[in-house]
Each structure stands twice: as C-alpha cells, then as structure tokens.
Amino acid sequence: MSLPSLALAGSVLAGGLAAGTLAGPAHAASGDAAVHHRTVRVDGVDVFYREAGRQEAPAILLLHGFPTSSAMYRELIPLLAPHFRVLAPDYPGYGHSDALPPAQYAYTFDHLAQTMRGFLDRLGVKHAILYMQDFGGPVGFRLALAQPQRIDGIVVQNANAYLEGFAPQVKAQMQRYWTHRTPQTEQEQRFAFSPEGIRWQYVTGTHDASALDPDAWTLDAARMARPGQDAIQLDLLYDYRSNPASYPEWQAWLKQRQPKTLILWGKGDPLFTVEGARALKRDVPGARLVVYDAGHFLLQEHAADAAREIVAMFGSADGSEVHERD
C-alpha cells in the first residue's frame, strides 16, 4: 500500500467522516479494520486468506483475478472492514496457498469453485456477497449457480460473462489455444504471466500509470516465476474455454434471479471491454453500473471509490443508475 493510500485509509477509518461517506457505524471499533492473515485446510489443500471485520457482520468474499492473489485487495479490505466480515482467499496455485503440481490438484475452474465452497463451509459462512474480478467471475458464478441461496449479492469488476465483452485480439488468441494446445499456442499464452505481460495488464488503459504501485505487478511476477507455475497457469488458461461455454447458464441465472448487483468497470481494460459490463446491466436492469477511467485493475486507482459504492449498495437501497467516473 502506498503512503498516500495509507493516509487516505487512516483518514477514512479514523476520521469520522460525514454521513454518506465511508465512516463506519457508531459501534464499529478501530480494531474492525485490522487485517488478519490465516490459513485453513480445505480438502487436503492449505488455503491462505486475509480476514477483517466483525464475525457477525455480513460476509463479503473477495475473489481475485489472474495473475494476482488476495494481495490485489490490500487497500480495499480495511475500507470495507467496518461494515462487513471481509474474506479474501488465495486460490490453490496463487499467493500463499498451496501450489500443488497438476498431478495432485486439477487446475480447472470447477475445482477452484469447489475449493472455495469448501473454504466457506470451513469458516461457517452461510451467506455472502461475492466480489468477482477477472478469474473471480468464473469462480463466483459457479458458486452462485451451485448454491444460489448462499449469495446475498454480487459485485462484478472487470469479470467477463458475455462474448461481446472479450477484446477481439484476446478472444482470437485464446481460441487458437483452446482449439489446438501445442507448444506454439502455449508460448503465446506464456506472455500473460511473464513480467512484461503482467505489467501490461496493470498499466494498459489506466488514467494515470504513475499512480499505480509497481510493487503490485512486481510481486505477481515473482510469484509467477516460481517453479511449476507455468504448468498451473497453462492448465487454467486452457480450461478457461469452459467459461464461454457456461455463459448462457450464467446469463440465465442473472435474468431469473435478478441478484442485487453492483458493476464496477475500468473502461480502458485491454482484456474485457465495457460492452461486457453493459450486457450484464441489460440482463439485470436494477444493477448499478459505474464506469471508471481506469484499466483492468481499477482498484489500483479507485479503491476508496469502489469501497464507497459497495457500502452504499449493500448497506442501503440503491437505484438503478449508470455513472461515468474520472
């Protein structure tokens, strides 16, 4: 977390802001914002997670994207903690969770979702709001379809569920890989988890790249360089083909259930275009859509803004609106 962000978090959490801001309820102690780092065993895998907030508060599950980990939520967690029980796990193969070889853990989105269900079970979480970014979308939608009664609402942040949401060049490259998994098509995918590719995902389309903390992509790149990571990532990127095939199911669930939905989107995302966000809004007319002048990882520039939107949406009734933010 950068020094300006620390100052902002401190002023938000301890400064007693005016009504309508992120100031916590009167009973919220400063200790609510303390972030704890824990590990739980789920079906033979050690799952690392970050936790903050009161046990009795509504739970929000932060599902991270590729190629990062729960570390992407470092700034958001303390801002949400006065209002929610915040849980941010690392998937197997990511962050501080076990990274077993593919022979010991099948790296598919079905399996990741199964592990996340087990994670919620182990922590005794019966209901949760889902925050889904990038890979968090395929994991979260699988959770929602498997146990719809468990989901109290969704926050979708640059997580695709519509074919029109794919950037054309990304879709073409991925389809080559899904159609023919060869050393050549695997090589194309390796750029995505190379140091250059990871930085590209962070900085492309941002409003001000100098406002981003370079430790974010440096940390992700270091983790992706660990032995065995290439096999894990190539398996998951190949299994990503199961997600477009599931889009009609996810869309039907959205149309039928009309979950309480907040859509946060960086319009400069080079992977998932804002058309995917607008398609989701079309299927859930009551959703709130906020479009930012930001990229794929918009929390790097708008963590405080996102926290305000989440608290407003899930702390009170909220209208169906579309907003463009700078």
Query: Which pLDDT tens digit goes with each residue over 272-324?
Result: 999 999 999 999 999 999 999 999 999 999 999 999 999 999 974 434 444 55
Q: Which domain holds residue 96?
A: 33-325
Helix (H, G, I), strand (E, B) or coil at 158: coil
- Whether the pLDDT of residue 188 is over 80: the answer is yes
pLDDT top residue among 276 and 31: 276
pLDDT digits (tens, 9 = 90+) for 149-186: 999 999 999 999 999 999 999 999 999 999 999 999 99
| Cα 111 off chain centre by | 17
Q: What is the mean pLDDT of residues 245-266?
A: 98
Would 13 be classed as within a structural domain?
A: no
- Whether the pLDDT of residue 15 is over 70: the answer is no
Which among 64, 83, 96, 296 is annotated as catalytic?
A: 296
pLDDT top residue among 121 and 29: 121
Would 9 be classed as within a structural domain?
A: no
Would 11 be classed as within a structural domain?
A: no
- Whether the pLDDT of residue 4 is over 70: the answer is no
Would 278 be classed as within a structural domain?
A: yes
pLDDT digits (tens, 9 = 90+) for 72-103: 999 999 999 999 999 999 999 999 999 999 99
Helix (H, G, I), strand (E, B) or coil at 305: helix
Would 201 be classed as within a structural domain?
A: yes
Sign of the alpha-carbon dihedral angle for 311, 315, 316, 320: positive
- Whether the pLDDT of residue 10 is over 50: the answer is no
Active site residue 180: no
Question: How far is Cα 159 from Cα 152, in angstroms, rounded to an integer?
Answer: 18
Would 2 be classed as within a structural domain?
A: no
Question: How far is Cα 71 from Cα 76, in angstroms, rounded to an integer?
Answer: 10
Number of residues that this document lists for the chain: 326
pLDDT for 23 = 41
Would 25 be classed as within a structural domain?
A: no
How many angstroms separate the Cα of 3 from the Cα of each of 6, 99, 213, 258? 5, 32, 10, 40
Instruction: Give the count of domains, the chain.
Output: 1
User: Using only C-alpha atoms, what is the Rg of the chain?
Assistant: 19
Which CATH number belongs to the domain containing residue 306 in this structure? Answer: 3.40.50.1820
User: Interior CA angle at 56 toward 54 and 62, to 5°?
Assistant: 65
Q: What is the mean pLDDT of residues 215-223?
A: 97
Would 15 be classed as within a structural domain?
A: no
**Which of left, alpha, beta for 20 (phi over 0: left; psi -120 to 50: alpha)?**
left
Query: Model-level pTM?
Result: 0.88
